Chain A
Amino acid sequence: MRPPARIAPIIGLAYVLAIAAADRPQRGAASSTASHATASDATARIVASAQALLATLDDAGRARVQFPLEGPQKTRWSNLPSGIFQREGLRLGDLTPAQRSSVMSLLSAALSRDGYRKVTDIMRGDEVLRTTASAPGRGPGAGQGRGGGGGGPVTFGEAEYYLAFVGTPSVTEPWMLQFGGHHLAINLTLAGRQASMAPSLPAAQPASYTVEGRTVRPLGNENDKAFALINALDDTQRTQAVLGYRVSDLVLGPGQDGRTIQPEGIRASALSAAQQSMLLDLAREWAGITNDAFAEPRVEEIRTNLPQTYFAWSGPTTNGSAAYFRIQGPTLVIEYAPQRGIDHIHTIYRDPTNDYGAKFTRK
């Protein structure tokens, strides 16, 4: 029996939609397979870079960089300088130029282009701080020399960044690349095509400096995108987003693993599509530090959870002011906390469900 003429277009539309729906999983699967291949390739490149670095080290160096996967090193990281916090691993200042170059090649493989720039800008900023400022409680000239760990001289600068492998670099088995120093902690857990860069702590002091006439703001995008977002909210939305109290530091900074605070602020479901895009773009500043092959699925996960994600703000809303903000969703916590002014910023990036790659390292 032929359908009546007036419902024929509806049936035709349903047919087209059915074909599209049937096609979608196939295209999704194809895309997913491609993404798996890309992620696997990225892991292979990172592992190859790690092995190239290991080949430049003697036995003592290899022993210094390598830690067991389930030991205390996994959660041993901080934003503090050497002398207050004792890091383990390979210290950049102890390496030959070739070895140091291998470390930077490894970071280049593990991070996106923007992520690598951010990390090196933070390190260079710390060198600026070392050469122009005093260490805590010490006179000018502090920041020189070798960090001795807790109780030793306070030391920071580009030489005071440490690399560690927690677990053996592998293209299939879980392991972690740790890189950090004053105002930086990158904890990248890899397991085949899967990766998690949580928890990580990109920070900056000074927040702005010039190198050879070029102004560098390691966390400038984070700052500017956040101010753009808060100013894109209407009065009603802003009332929900702005917390009525001062937040003077990170709530879930170093040492706060496994804790989840009650979310506050405005829920992203109350934002327009354009505002949601701005929020996602802001979160990408952290999620996108890692290699693009791992960052893209992570951003998609954040996008999927956006309706359950909150944006909270404390402080003035005029760019150039010191303001704290937090993005918190089912798989995401980002905090941005200026420290007594705009020139010293702490941030934290966490995944309450996958810090240290818990999802894929759990036995």
Chain B
Amino acid sequence: MTLTIAIVGSAQPSAHRVDEYLQASRLAIDPRGVQIELDLTPGIALAEAIIAEIDRNRDGSPSADEQRAYASLVLHGLEVAVDGRPLPVQLGSIRFADNDAMRRGEGTIQVQASVTLPDLDIGAHQLRFRNNHHPHGSVYLANALVPESDAVGVTAQRRDPDQRELTIDYELRAVPAPSTVAWLLASFAAASMLSVFLIAAVHPVTALKTWRARRKPGLLR
């Protein structure tokens, strides 16, 4: 088929991210800590500057140490606080896209980090997360993941208009420990079995009384 084609509107040449640094954060809260996943994707126009920040000796090949140093720099820009109490962020695993992919605006730096939470009371708490890394030219996504633990329930999320800052209201709930649950189940099973024995013990007597009553004169049909 012969195509006669024209783009309508303001089509731009393949509009992959150009002059923005996309920083996507996902936070998973459990009773003991917070897992933070960061995906950092520099646009084409920013790639060389970011690569230069990573490849400090300018040898064209970022080393593992240089990558780890950059990830530490990223974490240095994070603020995490629970109930107003600032908490340190520990670096976990990192994964860097190659420089060519970053130069095309599609290479992502993945950083995993964690925060250890202090012992918190059952009830309402608030986690505040702020990303100050590379504030100029960055766009942000920040989201709470649905907690895997039944002991945690997210009740609200609030953000600033750019999503640099995310405040998560959550509840810490009393969830029976597995051993408690097992104990309760065992108790229930034992009580059920005892009931069965009691019924079995009582039932023959009841049946016998009924039989005797039926043998009384006047009650026979």
Contacts and interface: CB of A to CB of B under 8 A. Distances in A.
A128 B8 CA distance: 11
Interface residues on B, range: 35 or more
B12 interface: yes
Interface string A121-159: 000100111011111110000000000001100101000
A289 B100 CA distance: 35
B14 A343 contact: no
A132 B8 CA distance: 12
B5 A80 contact: no
Interface in A325-357: 339-344
Contact of B139 (A210, A248, A262): A248
Contact of A137 (B2, B9, B105, B162): B105
A235 interface: no
A133 B13 CA distance: 5
A340 B7 contact: no
Contact of A132 (B5, B9, B98): B5
B44 A209 contact: no
B15 interface: yes
A341 B15 contact: yes
A211 B5 CA distance: 5
Contacts of B146: 260-262
A206 B13 CA distance: 9
B94 interface: no
A304 interface: no
A133 B162 contact: no
Contact of B106 (A84, A131, A207, A341): A84
Contacts of B18: 340
Interface stretch (B54-62, B68-76, B153-161, B197-205): B153-161
A246 B160 CA distance: 9
Contact of B24 (A133, A154, A249, A262): A249
Contact of A344 (B15, B24, B160): B15
A225 B129 CA distance: 35
Contacts of B6: 209-210
A150 B101 contact: yes
Nearest to B154: A262
A352 B143 CA distance: 16
Contact of B22 (A133, A209, A249): A249
A133 B7 CA distance: 10
Interface string B7-46: 1111111111110101010100000000000000000100
Contact of B104 (A154, A245, A247): A154
B9 A251 contact: no
B3 A211 contact: yes
B161 to A, nearest CB: 5
A151 B7 CA distance: 29
A243 B100 CA distance: 36
Contact of A245 (B12, B101, B144, B162): B162
B98 A136 contact: no
A212 B4 contact: yes
A116 to B, nearest CB: 16
Nearest to A130: B14
B125 interface: no
A85 B106 CA distance: 9
Given A150-B98, A206-B7, A248-B22, A136 B104 contact: yes
Given A137-B103, A208-B8, A251 B145 contact: no
B14 A213 contact: no
A205 B14 contact: yes
B12 A133 contact: yes
Interface of A: 80-81, 83-85, 124, 127-129, 131-137, 150-151, 154, 156, 205-213, 215, 243-249, 251, 259-262, 264, 339-344
7 contacts: A128-B3, A133-B14, A134-B13, A205-B14, A247-B163, A339-B15, A342-B10
- Sorted nearest first, the 3 A-B pairs with minimum C-beta distance are A133-B13, A134-B13, A206-B11
